[in-house]
């Protein structure tokens, strides 16, 4: 298994600006930016989280 195509990303809340989650994705097969509805602990509710690059 080749792990060269996988990159680290963070999921940033669009309302408060905190990076609450981190994950990896395959950059070769998923070219569009990831956008998920996740729980934001600061706001205590579900909000949209968008993909940002992490320093690795």
Q: Is residue 19 part of a domain?
A: yes
Q: Is the pTM of this model over 0.95?
A: no
Question: How much is the pLDDT for 29?
Answer: 93
Q: Does the residue 20 lie in any domain? A: yes
pLDDT of residue 14: 97
pLDDT in tens, 4-56: 889 999 999 999 999 999 999 999 999 999 999 999 999 999 999 999 999 86
Q: Is residue 30 part of a domain?
A: yes
Q: In 3D, which of 1, 6, 11, 5 has the Cα closest to residue 36?
A: 11
Q: What is the CATH number of the domain that holds 19?
A: 2.20.28.120
3-class DSSP state for residue 52? strand
Pick from 13, 8, 4, 9: nearest CA to 41: 13
Count of Cβ atoms closer than 10 Å to residue 36 Cβ: 13
Q: Tell whether 1 is covered by a domain.
A: no
Domains held by the chain: number: 1
Domain residues for the domain of 18 are: 6-53
């Amino acid at each position: 298994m080749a792990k060269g195509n996988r990159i680290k990303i963070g999921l940033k809340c669009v309302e408060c600006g905190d990076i609450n989650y981190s994950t990896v994705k395959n950059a070769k097969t998923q070219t569009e930016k990831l956008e998920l509805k996740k729980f934001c602990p600061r706001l205590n509710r579900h909000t949209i989280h968008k993909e940002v690059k992490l320093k690795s």
